[in-house]
Amino acid sequence: MPDMDGFREANNYGFGQTSQFDNFHVKGASNLPWGMKDRLSRIFNPKTGRAVMLAFDHGFIMGPTSGLERIDLNIVPLVQYADCIMCTRGILQTSIPANINKPVCLRSDAGSTILTELNRNVLIDIEDAIRCNASALAVMFSAGDGDQEAITAANLVEAVDMGNRYGIPVMGVTAVGKQMARDSRYFALASRVCAENGASIVKTYYCDGFEKVAASCPVPVVIAGGKKLPEKEALELCYNAVNDGAAGVDMGRNVFQSESPAAMIQAVHAVVHEGLTPEQGFEMFKDLSK
Ligand code: 5RP
């Protein structure tokens, strides 16, 4: 029992003032439990509401790919510039030092490769995700593609149920089904399905009409970078995406396959968080590349 001597009567109730916490900075997250919000806040900067996630989970379907041959040499030096890293548990445990102090969006589905192209409905154990201190679980969803749709939808729902049990948000990653065009109609559908099934973040692709994709998705949308582009075009992609409503990027190849990956991720960060134009971002990239 605290000592009551000198007890001061409470008198600062802020009557008439709206709580500053009523509008949580992550879209659609106001009603989530505290642990979920805490994890989302580690990913999305509370000042800007945005995130630069560094994706290097490609090896789990592609095997070694350019820029990811040696995670310890190529990726670890970039981690300091990212708000969050996205990778598999195998890479996390073998190649990422445990003292990086960055949130991890853990690739949590498994079993597919570019050779089989079928996700075998395998999710990692939620307890292992907790042991990895995951701040989010990333799970692919592929709409309109028969078996693939059913399997990935089941994965997504199971991941959300597991994540909800322990306060870990899920990021739905929209793959492009073979039958579907890469247009705003498809990405809006796939993103919305992810959110309606409980994903707290959606990762999708930028496209014409992207503002409709972002506006009709009730949770934050981050964009993948896709195949390597010239740096200025990749910065334009980031700029257009956030201006059209994306809450950031979850980018891989356009960072780690850049001529100067450290310069590129810093330029991407400045475009996403500081509103640099693509031209300003590209100047920054060139300066940092010297
Ligand atoms: C695929 C993924 C990849 O991480 C994603 O495509 C991001 O990488 P890139 O910017 O290279 O496209 O989630 O399922």
Closest ligand 1 atom to the C-alpha of 224? 10
For 200, the domain range is 34-289
Answering whether pTM is above 0.85, one says yes
Residue 183 has pLDDT above 90, yes or no: yes
Residue 181 — pLDDT band, cuts 50, 70, 90? confident
Our answer on whether the CB atom of 188 is closer than 6 Å to any ligand 1 atom is no
Residue type, 130: I
Residue written as token pair 């009709």: 216
Percent of the chain scoring above 90 in pLDDT: 80
Question: Into how many domains does the chain fold?
Answer: 1
Q: Which of these, 264, 188, 194, 274, lies nearest to 233 by C-alpha position?
A: 264
Closest ligand 1 atom to the C-alpha of 225? 10
Residue 51 counted as domain residue: yes
pLDDT in tens, 108-149: 998 656 655 555 678 999 999 999 999 999 999 988 777 788
Residue 7 counted as domain residue: no
Q: If you measure from the C-alpha of residue 35 to the centroid of ligand 1, how many angstroms do you get, rounded to a whole number?
A: 26
Count CA atoms closer than 13 A to 230's CA, side-chain side: 6
Our answer on whether the CB atom of 55 is closer than 6 Å to any ligand 1 atom is yes
Residue 12 counted as domain residue: no
Phi then psi dihedrals of residue 220, to 5 deg: -65, 140
Mean pLDDT over all residues of the chain?
93
Our answer on whether the CB atom of 222 is closer than 6 Å to any ligand 1 atom is no
Q: What is the CATH classification number for the domain harbouring 252?
A: 3.20.20.70
Q: What is the largest CA-CA distance in the chain?
A: 73
Asked whether the CA dihedral 31, 36, 38, 41 is positive or negative, the reply is: negative
Residue 11 counted as domain residue: no
Residue 10 counted as domain residue: no
Distance of CA 164 to the CA centre of its chain: 18
Told to judge if 203 belongs to the known catalytic residues of this protein, a careful annotator would answer yes
Residue 59 counted as domain residue: yes
Residue 225: how many CB atoms within 10 A of its CB? 23
Residue 185: how many CB atoms within 10 A of its CB? 13
pLDDT in tens, 38-94: 999 999 999 999 999 999 999 988 889 999 999 999 999 999 999 999 999 999 999
Residue 15 — pLDDT band, cuts 50, 70, 90? confident
Residue 56 counted as domain residue: yes
Residue 74 counted as domain residue: yes
Rounded distance, CA 16 to CA 18, Å?
A: 7
Our answer on whether the CB atom of 107 is closer than 6 Å to any ligand 1 atom is no
211: exposed, middle or buried (Cβ count in 10 Å: 0-12, 13-18, 19+): middle
Q: If you measure from the C-alpha of residue 205 to the centroid of ligand 1, how many angstroms do you get, rounded to a whole number?
A: 9
